[in-house]
Amino acid sequence: MSLELMHVQPTPNPNAFKFHTETELLPAGASVSFPTPEAAEDLSIAKDLFAQGDVIAVLLAEDFVSVSGTPDAQWQEIRAIVEQQVPRIDLDRLAEVASRQRARLAEEKANRPVSGLEERIEEVMDAYVRPALAGDGGGVEIVGTEGKTIRIRYQGACGSCPTSTMNTLAAIENLLRDQVDPEIVLEPA
């Protein structure tokens, strides 16, 4: 199976691009987030992108690689790295990394109480929010709850997007208030 880059899509974040692949990288709904160079583990595409110097976050999902950069990012260089590395992605290795990240998140959740409210919020996030954010090269995870205050962490293009802390946060909060509980308050982690 050959992996190839199909096209590049700008995102609402002026400092991020979404690179679509012709082949599925991960199952629908799965993703691998690298918010720092140290998190890149031994996945060469993430390591090479961070080594470029202008990259601040990388997200791999179903059929795309989302890259967030500094305001002065050299996007021609970043695109060249993505074009070079996409065909070299070891899908089995990527699946292992995704599995480890999922296990770490599950362990974090196991170490804190998860309420019925959080379970319902996760359902709404999976049904509406995560697919919408993935369309823009991003994602979101719940990192904690205190009463009806929910802390979330953005991933990929959403992590450094200027609209994520205002517009997107308000939109998600309104959806959750409508679908789950009118007293929910969202806070970025």
Q: pLDDT of 127-184, one tens digit each?
A: 999 999 998 898 998 888 888 999 999 998 888 888 777 889 999 999 999 999 999 9
Sheet with 5-10: strands ordered across: 5-10, 16-21, 64-69, 55-61, 31-34
The architecture that CATH gives domain 108-188 is 2-Layer Sandwich (3.30)
Name which CATH class applies to 5-102: alpha beta
Q: What is the pLDDT of residue 37?
A: 92
pLDDT tens column, 134-148: 988 989 988 888 889
Give start-end residues of each CATH 3.30.1370.70 domain in the chain: 5-102
Give start-end residues of each CATH 3.30.300.130 domain in the chain: 108-188
Distant-in-sequence, close-in-space partners of 8: CB < 8 Å, separation ≥ 6: 17, 18, 19, 20, 79
Residue 66 backbone phi and psi in degrees, to 5 = -105, 130
Predicted structure pTM score: 0.82
